[in-house]
Structure 1
């Protein structure tokens, strides 16, 4: 039987101090894990940078590509007044804006000339704005003074106008754009009809 006065000491842990080889292996493993984490982080940063570049390029190509609006004339109406000395002229001017920003243009005048270059009258186009990717329709009226047609009463006319304005994107980016209108038509004075209306 053991002596109760005898002191009992706990056993020493069974672990043995690691050798230099084990320490080196663990150090290399830790370094490899850190390197792997750094590479993964760099890969994420590179992917984000590529994505940002693609977004910027697409935005620049699609949204920041400024196009010249198209100005045309349609629905022309002729009324012969004043015993044929004056012809009342009304039409609808369309401003087609294909940009991703609104097109704001200043007031302008459309000049009506006959086939031999004589100015017959002018049409006032008021200051307006065409929304992004939309068409603005404007009613214009005027008078043609002393129009003279050929033997059949046909009068060939040309209507020209220039709109000066700016395309605005996000109300920050602005670009000046001038839009030209050149329309030709034949007016039959006896019947007050319009034929062969063409714009470019």
Structure 2
């Protein structure tokens, strides 16, 4: 009875309607699958964006610098040379100062 009334109303409009048009275009499983694909795509884009941000930050702000080493005052303790040969033997004492220009600490 309801179908007959719908058909009468549809034909009065000039539009006809069948069951395939009134059914949803995609099933629930297909919609869930598309939502999952979209979610994974967003997660993938976010991960790629984070990798790019970390790489740029690491290469600009956190770049590795070589420590600066400086000699202190040098004192020669012994100096032996042999006049017949062009060689000598020396013992000296000094301080080496190392300045770390990186963000972390330098363990020696």
What TM-score range do you get, normalising by the shorter chain?
0.3 to 0.5
Structure with more helix by fraction: 2
TM-score by length of 2: 0.45
The TM-score, its normalising length taken from structure 1, stands at: 0.30
- Which structure's residues are more often strand, by fraction? 1
